[in-house]
């Protein structure tokens, strides 16, 4: 499961609970004024729809991460496949954290695919191995 999906789900639940509480509070503090309540409800529902649309776009354009074993080490492969397929390998710390320094960089050419989701083994066009510095 992708960790950005987990974070987005938690954030969505928190946001919706806050928006629902705001609607309830405004309903009671406006002395049940129908116009204010309807307007607030439309703004809240519009905010939720706008947020969900943004989440769908964000999910579609985020890069994927795979936890793999390479050269005897457990690493996180960060795949950017929009125009050029680039894979950056980082140290694996745990399920939610990865290292912040690139250890290996691989270029697979023109984009549009994930080299870890292909059935056949792909060889990178260019590979760069970085040291510990």
> Is the same domain home to 44 and 77?
no
Q: Are 31 and 50 part of one and the same domain?
A: yes
Q: How far apart are CA 130 and CA 133, in angstroms?
A: 8
Q: Any idea which residue has 């066009």 for tokens?
A: 125
Domain-ending residue, one of 61, 86, 110: 61
54 with 28, same domain? Answer: yes
The yes-or-no verdict on residue 35 having pLDDT over 50 is: yes
Q: Are residues 86 and 123 in the same domain?
A: yes
> Where is the domain boundary, 42, 61, 80?
61
Residue 1's pLDDT is 47
pTM score over 0.95? no
Structural domain range at position 44? 3-61
List pLDDT tens digits, range 93-130.
Answer: 887 788 889 999 999 988 778 888 888 878 899 999 98
In sequence order, the 6+-apart residues with CB closer than 8 A to the CB of 114 are: 64, 79, 81, 85
Whose tokens are 């002395």? That residue is 31
């Amino acid at each position: 499961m992708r960790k950005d999906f987990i974070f987005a789900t938690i954030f969505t639940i928190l946001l919706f609970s806050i928006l629902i509480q705001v609607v309830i509070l405004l309903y009671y503090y406006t002395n049940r004024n129908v116009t204010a309540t309807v307007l607030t409800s439309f703004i809240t529902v519009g905010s939720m729809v706008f947020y969900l649309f943004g989440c769908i776009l964000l999910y579609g354009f985020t890069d994927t991460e795979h936890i793999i074993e390479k050269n005897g080490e457990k690493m996180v492969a960060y795949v950017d496949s929009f125009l050029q397929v680039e894979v950056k390998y980082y140290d694996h710390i745990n399920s939610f954290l990865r290292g912040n320094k690139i250890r290996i960089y691989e270029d697979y050419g023109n984009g549009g695919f994930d080299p870890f989701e292909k059935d056949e083994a792909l060889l990178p066009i260019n590979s760069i191995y970085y040291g510990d510095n």
